[in-house]
Structure 1
Amino acid sequence: MAQRKIALACNVCGSRNYTLAANPNRTERLEIKKFCKFCGEHTLHRETR
């Protein structure tokens, strides 16, 4: 069975920069500050479905 993947989208420009394996135990959407290569700075990235 293949693992489900989720994408992290930048809140500023909306680009989907990162992918992670989905965790079924997490009930809320993941929010992490990561570097966005399109914005050129660290911004908040939110899990998309």
Structure 2
Amino acid sequence: MARDIIILECTEAKAEGKPTSRYTSTRNKKSLNTPGRLEKVKYNPFLRRRTLHRELR
């Protein structure tokens, strides 16, 4: 299978001193469209708003 399971972590929660929210997702290993770290806007329940979540490695 050509998909990886990745973990997305909130980038704004650490600066505000709140717990970070994490999501799991999948990505295509062989895709040329996403060579770097994946970023998605997801909901952070601790901050009660949508924030940028970046892939952990």
TM normalised by structure 1 equals 0.73
Answer with 1 or 2: which has the greater Rg: 2
* Paired letter, 2:9: A
Q: Residue in 1 aligned with 2:24? A: 19
Match of 2:41 among 7, 16, 33: 33
Q: Residue in 1 aligned with 2:17? A: none
Kept in 2: contact 1:6–1:47 (CA 8 A): yes
The alignment covers a number of residue pairs equal to 48
* Paired letter, 1:31: E
- Which is richer in helix? 2
Match of 2:50 among 42, 46, 49: 42
Identity of aligned pairs, percent? 38
- Give ranges in structure 2 of 5+ residues lacking alignment: 15-19
The alpha carbon displacement at 1:32 in A equals: 1.1
Q: Runs of at least 4 residues of structure 1 off by over 6 A? A: none
- Give ranges in structure 1 of 5+ residues lacking alignment: none
